[in-house]
Amino acid sequence: MDDTSSALRAVVLIRDVLSPHRWALWTQRSSLIAYIVVVEAAAVAATVTMAATEPVQPRDGVILAGLAGMGILQAELGRQVERVRRRVNGTPHINMTSVWTFAGVLLLPAALVAVLVATLYFHLAVRSWYRLRRVPAFRTVFNSCLVILTCYAAEVVLSGSGIDGMYGALDAGWGSVGVIALAAITYFVVGALVAVPGLTTRSRTFQELFGGWADNLLEVATLCLGILTALALATLPALVLVVIPPLLLLHRGVLVKQLEVAATTDEKTGLFNTVGWHNLATHELTRAKRKAHASFGVLMVDLDYFKQINDTYGHLVGDQVLKAVAAAITSAVRDYDSVGRFGGEEFVVLLPDIAEADVIMVAERIREAIAELQVEIADGDDRMVIKDLSASIGVATYPNAGAAVERLLQAADKALYKAKDTGRNKVVSIMDVA
């Protein structure tokens, strides 16, 4: 009997090991680990090679200490801001170290740039990122190695052009401006591209991988400040202190913007929350009232029997289903339409500049997209698929269904309940409600 049980356990183990999902997971993790090892090994090898070939002058040590000191000072002054930004930021995080690291590219031998990067990231890890689960130690080491390789790529542009950093640029005159700009562009592009494989352990949108306009403009701004920092240190070093106040102001300004976004965003799905969606709808209503014959649509979308999913599989699985439904709705509408979550399993969609017949077509497209969903749920190394989802949708159109946002929502909600009462998994317009 024991032999039989052992044999059965062995069969189950072999089956699990040969499971396509488990193999996919192992392959994914192995690829990520391999990439991390390659990046870190490349950063170490390049640093050792450059340290052996590039001479270091006494002046370089002073500049290194100055950049590291100012970077640490700025990080200490903005430490609380940085911790809050880490908590609310959902895209690839862009910190302010580029000011100092790119200045290092323009002023220091490559090996000392690596020392500068390591110093700044170690300080951030110890003082700003501790206790933040999103920043484990291995990620900090990996990110610092990515930045080191990014700095080396910019160094290659400078050395290939024959410009010896900022000091050589001052001697070369205006002709060196383009070279420095090209080095900054290289830093920007290489930094984004090299980081992507480390972020692709799960399906991500383009914005999740590369950030939005605000994230990338922040990186551009820090590179510009890095150029000014290098220029100040190469000419009048005391002027470098004037870089810190605008840098702190920029840091805080970005936090304010991120908090504004967080205040209007649903945490579970990334859609607009009630406040954010209502603000957009009010703006659209104001615009429509100024325009003759304007029309826009409002959809109320409610998942059918969603409580059964929570009761059967738990709320964590339910949250993953909500995220998948949110993505399905977003993919079924236009880029400038606005999708929100009003809590629970209820979603709302704003469709500007659209006729009522087209609103119903969009609602049907959303209903079909949800019906076709197959949500793969990860539970450790195991996988399951949630399918056979459906939604009931209520449709209201301005101005026929009302001339105020609340009236339109009430009309769409009334149509939604009509859909629920007459069988679910259907679209009902307020015009069809007696």
The tens digit of pLDDT for each residue in 248-261 reads 787 677 666 666 66
CA distance linking residue 216 with residue 112, whole number of Å: 26
Reply yes or no on whether the pLDDT at 56 is more than 70: yes
Band (pLDDT 50/70/90 cuts) for residue 175 is confident
- CA–CA dist 173, 233 (Å, integer): 17
> Taking 70 as the threshold, does the pLDDT of residue 206 lie above it?
no
Region 37-41: mean pLDDT is 88
pLDDT at 381: 58
Instruction: Determine which of 8-22, 72-86, 252-266 has the lowest per-residue pLDDT on average.
Output: 8-22
Residue 60 near residue 108 (C-beta atoms within 8 A): yes
- pLDDT number for residue 256: 61
Higher pLDDT, 2 or 31: 31
Count the neighbouring beta carbons within 10 Å of the beta carbon of residue 72. 17
pLDDT reading at 37 higher than 70: yes
Helical pair 213-235 and 165-172, crossing angle rounded to 10 deg: 70
For residue range 278-291, list pLDDT tens digits in order. 989 999 999 998 88
Determine if residue 343 is left, alpha or beta; phi over 0 gives left, psi from -120 to 50 gives alpha, anything else beta. Answer: left
Answer whether residue 129 shows pLDDT above 80: no
Residue 181, classified by CB atoms within 10 Å of its CB into exposed (0-12), middle (13-18) or buried (19+), is middle
pLDDT, position 200: 46
Instruction: Please state, rounded to an integer, the average pLDDT across all residues of the chain.
Output: 81
Q: Quote the pLDDT of residue 195.
A: 61
Share of the chain above pLDDT 70, in %: 79
Q: How confident is the model at residue 313 (pLDDT cuts 50, 70, 90)?
A: confident
Task: With cut-offs at 50, 70 and 90, classify the pLDDT of residue 346.
Answer: very high
Average pLDDT over residues 291-313: 89
pLDDT class of 162 with cuts at 50, 70, 90: confident
